[in-house]
Structure 1
């Protein structure tokens, strides 16, 4: 991990659980994040990481893919059984299979080791913004000032209460999935390309890996209906109005 100077203005303290088996990397990442004002708890294997997660109180989870006992992919799946806490995966190789497997397991984003401190902190801040999203600037229904409930067929999105219903039943969405759906709901019938979604949902200020978008759309489709988000080949995705 590259070194970074301590920032002059520290952000509000957030708790991060780091699960990494390499002691040198674990210590260097911990020290780097603490310089930015984060509180860091750590574990050296997947099963210990699962125990630490169950203790609660973590705002972001930072999981290595290759872990002894229970690997990062399996750990992410176990976490997603009960929690929507933001998860950032770390892959040593940037291998396509690692990346896809992590995102399919429910991770929100990933970084490749060796991790640049500035990139890691930017990704963590983005995850925290999504997790604490309070609906400010949420879309109102077209032509209905003050209306916060958007309806698309059997799908209803309450942009003020940040609740989603399908056929009248509540749908549990992770923060990134909710932000993605809100972006689609604000632009019904409009094709949104992947790079635009990376900027508006993931807060990327640079071109990123569009597989992050594709896998999150895939997870969202499973929860709100496979035909609700339409793929426009060569361009991107759009939310069907009806």
Structure 2
């Protein structure tokens, strides 16, 4: 379903989100206070507006209240990010998602009601670290400080075994959400079906448990 998004701040992070949402077919309003960035965004946004998002009056004039999804991707100016977020929450916008620079910034954003907070550099660092430390990890999603979802590649250890044989939940405390086999995703795998090297397990669990699962079972 097509949705409407407003992206405030057209640095690398904001531009990347803007392009992706636009290519997915959504309507995207790109906002920045720099004219050059606005001109460049014309190629990957439904509409562009030159606006100082720290100015409550300017935000109101451009109709920001009409959006249910607003992403604050302001770069290094933490004060501007906080002030913009505060205005958006005062406008009762249902979903305000904000890029945080550090833990202090994150705490302030939580206090003023940001609905979701991103740490792009930190999140990417976690993903890269996971890839570097395990050849079996194909993809990685951080859910919290303790829990993740990972896609892991099955080794020859699983050949001929079944989910019943692996007994993942009892042995490791993890849950297999789905299995990719021959390019197809099975979200309700038969626990008695034989597994093969090269199958991909989509698993959720505590990070330490996931590590034990990767090392022992795969």
- Normalised TM-score (structure 2): 0.41
Q: TM-score, normalised by structure 1?
A: 0.38
Larger Rg: 2
